Amino acid sequence: MKKLINAPDNLVADALLGLAEATTELQIDHKNRIIYRAEPKQKGKVALISGGGSGHEPLHGGYVGLGMLDAACAGEVFTSPTPDQMLAATKQVDTAAGVLYIVKNYTGDIMNFEMAAELATSETGINVLSVVTNDDVAVQDSLYTAGRRGVGVTVLLEKIVGAAAEEGQDLSTLSTLARDINNNGRSMGIALTSCTVPAVGKPTFDLPDNEMEIGIGIHGEPGRHRLPLGTAREIAEQLVEPILADFNFTSRPVIVMLNGMGASPLIELYLMYGEVAKILKRSGINVARNLIGNYITALDMAGCSVTLLSVDDQMIKLWDAPVKTLGLRWGI
């Protein structure tokens, strides 16, 4: 295992120390492993909290800031944060306008965010709603999931709902918007190599030099099947066709994310985007916006994922709204 770390057990704590040094725009509660905005809370604004296992950076800590999240709870690598973390974050960010939890569909995350919401309500009376993302079309159930996994749509949702929250929309409206986004988004991923969880010290799965795993999860969970290593063109088909088979993306414009899994360089991601765009074009799909890069990763896995989100004018406007985070930054 070759990684830029001190010790597997310190990875998350040390990365948070680096994050704290990197920017004055964030404030880190190192004890509770919560990343907050440094700027004062905005009265009347609904607060957005997300979180999950570490190893998917910039998700979620890199999406805390103006136009996206108010707080992110970091778990150990690929391990849900605890209800205590989420509860502490909830108490900290609420301004009496309520709190929206954005939860990727993994059993641990679901359970812990639910427990935190109950505690928040019973202990403090804070109004909490949750939205669960489950956009991965690859498999129905998986290693850590009942139902579909929550992946790339989470990034787009945090951006769009984050912008709506800045506009002052109320908790119920934001919750409806978030659910609408999740319902209109689909993703699929592929791995060329396994990731290596530092505490384990060896690749999560074996993948021969001449094979790729289609439909991989962001924790290295098994996908749909293995195929002989294909060209970018073939890989793009393997990713986009199942997405298009699952949802009709021709009726409205789409936002496309071509996401790297962590170890695939940008030149390959640009190239993959070209192949994906070709398929979308010939399928009559109108791409309104796109995002290419490492946005929801799986440690040092080589590979990529495609996310399509069917959007209306309002969602595009919210997508274009200013955002000032480590992971996304524009319009400011």
Q: How many CB atoms lie within 10 A of CB 92?
A: 18
- Is 205 near its own copies (CB under 8 A)? no
Our CB check for its own copies shows the closer of 158 and 300 to be 300
Interface with its own copies: number of residues (CB under 8 A): 59
Q: Is 6 exposed, middle or buried (0-12, 13-18, 19+ CB in 10 A)?
A: exposed
Our CB check for its own copies shows the closer of 272 and 321 to be 272
Residues 249-268 touching its own copies, rule: CB under 8 A, are 262-268
Residues 218-237 touching its own copies, rule: CB under 8 A, are 229, 231-233, 235
Shortest Cβ 21–its own copies spacing (Å): 4
* Helix or strand run (H / E) with residue 209: none
Cα(250)–Cα(265) distance, integer angstroms = 30
- Is 19 near its own copies (CB under 8 A)? yes
- Is 3 near its own copies (CB under 8 A)? yes
User: Of these, 46, 47, 51, 54, which contacts its own copies (CB under 8 A)?
Assistant: 54
Cα(172)–Cα(304) distance, integer angstroms = 34
- DSSP per residue over 59-101, as a string? TTGGGBSBTSBSEEEEEEETSPPPHHHHHHHHHHH--SS-EEE
Active site residue 219: yes
Our CB check for its own copies shows the closer of 16 and 151 to be 16
Our CB check for its own copies shows the closer of 114 and 268 to be 268
Start-end of H helices in 136-294: 153-166, 171-183, 232-246, 266-282
Cα(151)–Cα(135) distance, integer angstroms = 6
Cα(36)–Cα(61) distance, integer angstroms = 8
Our CB check for its own copies shows the closer of 53 and 83 to be 53
Shortest Cβ 296–its own copies spacing (Å): 11
- Is 96 near its own copies (CB under 8 A)? no
* Helix or strand run (H / E) with residue 152: none
- Is 273 near its own copies (CB under 8 A)? yes
Residues 289-328 touching its own copies, rule: CB under 8 A, are 290, 292, 294, 297, 299-300, 302-304, 326
**DSSP-based three-state secondary structure for 307:** strand
Shortest Cβ 292–its own copies spacing (Å): 6
Active site residue 30: no
Pair 195, 299: CB distance under 8 Å: yes
- Is 152 near its own copies (CB under 8 A)? no
Pair 332, 324: CB distance under 8 Å: yes
Contacting positions for its own copies (CB under 8 A): 2-7, 11, 14-22, 54-55, 57-58, 62, 192-193, 209, 212, 229, 231-233, 235, 262-275, 277, 290, 292, 294, 297, 299-300, 302-304, 326, 329-332
Q: What residues act catalytically?
A: 56, 219
